[in-house]
């Protein structure tokens, strides 16, 4: 998976993550990595997913997470997982996203065991050593082999719904609530997030109907995110329309992104281009290079960008990251849309 899937970030966002604990149950005593189980009356619950069907017989107390967004959903529901995937892009030296570590501290829990996610390959042995009674990996690259190994050990697994790295971010939250017996709490978390996005959309009616392409350049390769990627979903929630040219250029190589050759860059017909870079220097190269200026929106200057690792990593929407980056994202989009409409 290309680094565009571990989002890239904006210079110093002075936005603190909104506390979602008001609509989440309280955690147990500090030092206990698990929280009290959810509503026992809702169990058993069954999930249909790309590898078959999973039934969770009773409310879990030792929750392990994998992939993107699931850890955030579990924490937003007041539970500190016993194990979680490392954050190898934007997570700093401790490999934990800042909004995640803030929430763990707020809940008074111990830091979970960090499962090495550097190669996106799950160490089943390391996972099972944490003695989980559920493994939630609904937005991840979990393979059939990994799924089979974990389930063979007697641990129920919530796998991706239809394809790896493609479960909608809202479903990650609702599925997590269902798995934990906290469906009403998940609904409240989601309603709060949706309201934040809706409020921003209402403040910027100019976003409505504006076409956008989510683009990234890496060495000699150019990437576009497709409409079902959670970050593009967020842009459409704000009122933007994914440019039809993006779907037209898709090669079928991935469910969430596509590469575009240099000779086709002028076919990216979008009012606004959104991009991410690791440094300001890289952003300036993107804005001024002869290659990227083949894209009409880039040539016009209608570009919104986030720069730097931490905040770019935040831009994939989750229960905890949205409050972290949304104000800066909207500010950038508003400026680019003004240029597009000029």
**Strand duo 257-260 + 221-225: pairing:** antiparallel
Query: Cα 19 to chain center, whole Å?
Result: 18
| b/e code 205-233 from CB counts within 10 Å (16+ = b) | eebeebbbbbbbbeeeebbbbbbbbbbbb
pLDDT at 168: 87
Query: In the prediction, which pLDDT does 6 show?
Result: 35
d(Cα 166, Cα 147) in Å, to the nearest integer?
17
Angle at 22 between CA 31 and CA 115, to 5 degrees: 40
Predicted confidence at residue 5, as pLDDT, reads: 37
The domain made up of 196-340 has a fold known as Rossmann fold (3.40.50)
> Quick check: 171 and 306 in contact, CB under 8 A?
no
- Domain 26-181 superfamily per CATH: Nitrogenase molybdenum iron protein domain (3.40.50.1980)
> Which sequence spans correspond to the domains of the chain?
26-181, 196-340
> DSSP per residue over 179-213, as a string?
HHT-HHHHHHHHHHHHHHHHHHHHH-GGGTT-EEE
Residue spans of alpha helices (H) in 108-164? 124-128, 144-152
The reply to whether the predicted model has a pTM over 0.85 is no
Q: Could you read off the pLDDT of 303-325 as tens digits, one per residue?
A: 999 888 766 676 788 999 998 88
Q: What is the DSSP string of 229-280?
A: SHHHHHHHHTT-EE-HHHHHH--SS-SSEEEE-GGGGGG---SEEEEEESSH
Question: Which residues in the chain come in under a pLDDT of 70?
Answer: 1-37, 310-312, 314
- Name the H helices within 70-138: 70-76, 98-107, 124-128
Instruction: Write out pLDDT tens, residues 6-25.
Output: 332 222 222 223 233 333 33
Residue 214, both tokens: 């989510």
What is d(CA 127, CA 10) in angstroms, rounded to the nearest whole number?
33
**Which one-letter DSSP state was computed for residue 14?**
-
What does the pLDDT read at residue 37? 67
Which contiguous run of DSSP H or E holds residue 321?
A: helix 321-340
Say if 26-181 and 196-340 have the same CATH topology. yes
**Crossing angle of helices 169-180 and 230-237, rounded to 10°:** 110
Q: Distance of CA 144 to CAs 84, 255, 262, Å?
A: 19, 17, 35
| In contact, 176 and 77? CB cutoff 8 Å | yes
């Amino acid at each position: 998976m290309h680094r565009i899937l571990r989002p890239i970030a904006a210079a110093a966002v002075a936005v603190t993550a909104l506390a979602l604990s008001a609509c989440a149950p309280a955690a147990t005593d500090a030092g206990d990595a698990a929280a009290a189980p959810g509503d026992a009356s809702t169990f058993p619950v069954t999930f249909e997913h790309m590898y078959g069907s999973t039934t969770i017989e009773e409310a879990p107390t030792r929750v392990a997470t994998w992939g993107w967004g699931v850890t955030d959903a579990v924490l937003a529901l007041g539970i500190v997982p016993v194990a979680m995937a490392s954050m190898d892009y934007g997570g700093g030296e401790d490999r934990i996203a800042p909004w995640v570590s803030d929430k763990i501290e707020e809940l008074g829990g111990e830091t979970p065991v960090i499962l090495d996610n550097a190669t996106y390959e799950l160490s089943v042995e390391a996972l099972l050593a944490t003695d989980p009674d559920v493994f939630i990996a609904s937005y991840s690259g979990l393979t059939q082999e990994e799924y089979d190994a974990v389930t063979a050990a007697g641990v129920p697994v919530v796998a991706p719904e239809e394809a790896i790295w493609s479960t909608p971010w809202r479903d990650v939250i609702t599925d997590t609530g269902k798995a934990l017996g906290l469906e009403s709490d998940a609904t409240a978390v989601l309603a709060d997030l949706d309201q934040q996005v809706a409020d921003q959309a209402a403040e910027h009616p100019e976003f409505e109907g504006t076409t956008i392409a989510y683009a990234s350049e890496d060495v000699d390769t150019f990437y576009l995110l497709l409409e079902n990627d959670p970050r593009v979903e967020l842009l459409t929630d704000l009122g933007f329309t994914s440019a039809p040219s993006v779907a037209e250029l898709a090669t079928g190589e991935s469910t969430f992104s596509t590469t575009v050759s240099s000779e086709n860059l002028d076919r990216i017909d979008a009012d606004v281009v959104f991009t991410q870079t690791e440094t300001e220097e890289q952003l300036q190269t993107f804005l001024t290079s002869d290659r990227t200026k083949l894209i009409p929106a880039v040539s016009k200057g209608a570009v919104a960008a986030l720069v730097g690792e931490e905040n770019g990593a935040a831009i994939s929407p989750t229960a905890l990251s949205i409050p972290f980056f949304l104000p800066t994202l909207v500010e950038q989009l508003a400026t680019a849309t003004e240029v597009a409409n000029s």
